Amino acid sequence: MEESVAAFEVSEEYKEEIEEKKEVEEKPQEGLPKVVVVLPARNEEKTIGQCIDVIKKSKYKPSIIVADGHSTDKTREIAEKHGAKVVISPKRIHPGKGLAMKTGLKAALEENPSIVVFMDSDIENMTPEWVDKLVDGIVVDGFDMTRGCYYRAPEDAPVTKLVARRLLWVFFPEVSHFDQPLTGEVAAKAEVWRELLEKDLPDGWGIDVAILIESEMAGYRMKEVFLGFKQHRSYRKYKEDPGKLGRMAEQVAVTIIKLAMKYERIDNVLEIET
């Protein structure tokens, strides 16, 4: 019995060879742009490992940073185990998606990438093609920013439907055609992100719509990329009671109004029949 076990033992040399091969496989192919994916996460132990594994399979072989908002579950531990680098927001604030994204973005830019991609870490049905399609939109089609859009359950996305899209129509009609103005799946060239970091982006839920508006006002070329159906954990928390999204609705609305003031659009309200 002992003998047959020994027959299957792998030599040290062979192990080294496998490790070397793995390293090559994990590096992007020559000629492909360097891509970093940032995953903001707060208490996402159920999905973070799977998201990292899926993203690793992208043809762009991205490096992965988890921007943790002081999770109290095993998010950080699992992220590291699955091979992601973990950075933590400098302040424990809630809601803190924006602060986490800015923290993750700074860490990503230190790696000198060509492209940085954000993906939510509560997604249950992500595939490697999500990253591929977003990055292709920049590398192949020449856009500065690509933004994921998807089918969602009919009751999903009340803040998008009732707040973001309506207020964008009032104040920034040039972006009101975007189906998912609050998408968490966004890719852009590193220089675009560097410029956006100068814009004092919000620390909370306002960040996604601020990225959209500021990118439009800076004249960047953006396109939405269809990613299929989005199934995410957060939806289950509010599907019985959309009132749980009150804080998000408030922060998204206030962000749009503040930017309407900044860009002297606030008087647009005078045109709206009430």
Q: Which two tokens stand for residue 195?
A: 């410029």
Q: How far apart are CA 196 and CA 181, in angstroms?
A: 16
CA 233 from centroid of its chain's CA atoms: 15
Per-position x/- string for 122-151, each x denoting binding to Mg ion as judged by CB under 5 A, each - no binding: x-----------------------------
- State yes or no: residue 203 binds ligand GTP (CB under 6 A): no
* E-assigned strand segments in the chain: 35-41, 63-68, 85-88, 115-118, 145-151, 186-189, 222-229
Q: What is the closest distance, in whole angstroms, from the C-beta atom of residue 100 to Mg ion in the complex?
A: 14
- State yes or no: residue 148 binds ligand GTP (CB under 6 A): no
Q: Would residue 156 be called left, alpha or beta, if left means φ above 0 and alpha means ψ between -120 and 50 degrees?
A: beta
Q: How far apart are CA 200 and CA 260, in angstroms?
A: 15
Residue 42 or 232 with smaller CB distance to Mg ion: 232
- State yes or no: residue 44 binds ligand GTP (CB under 6 A): yes
Please report, as residue ranges, which positions from 223 to 252 form the binding site for Mg ion (by CB under 5 A).
232, 234
Strand bridging mode 35-41 / 63-68: parallel
Residue 48: contacted member of ligand GTP, Mg ion, none (CB under 5 to 8 Å, by partner type): none
Residue 41: contacted member of Mg ion, ligand GTP, none (CB under 5 to 8 Å, by partner type): ligand GTP
Residues in touch with ligand GTP (CB under 6 A): 40-42, 44, 67-69, 89, 94-97, 100, 120-122, 157, 159, 184, 232, 234-235, 245
Residues in touch with Mg ion (CB under 5 A): 122, 232, 234
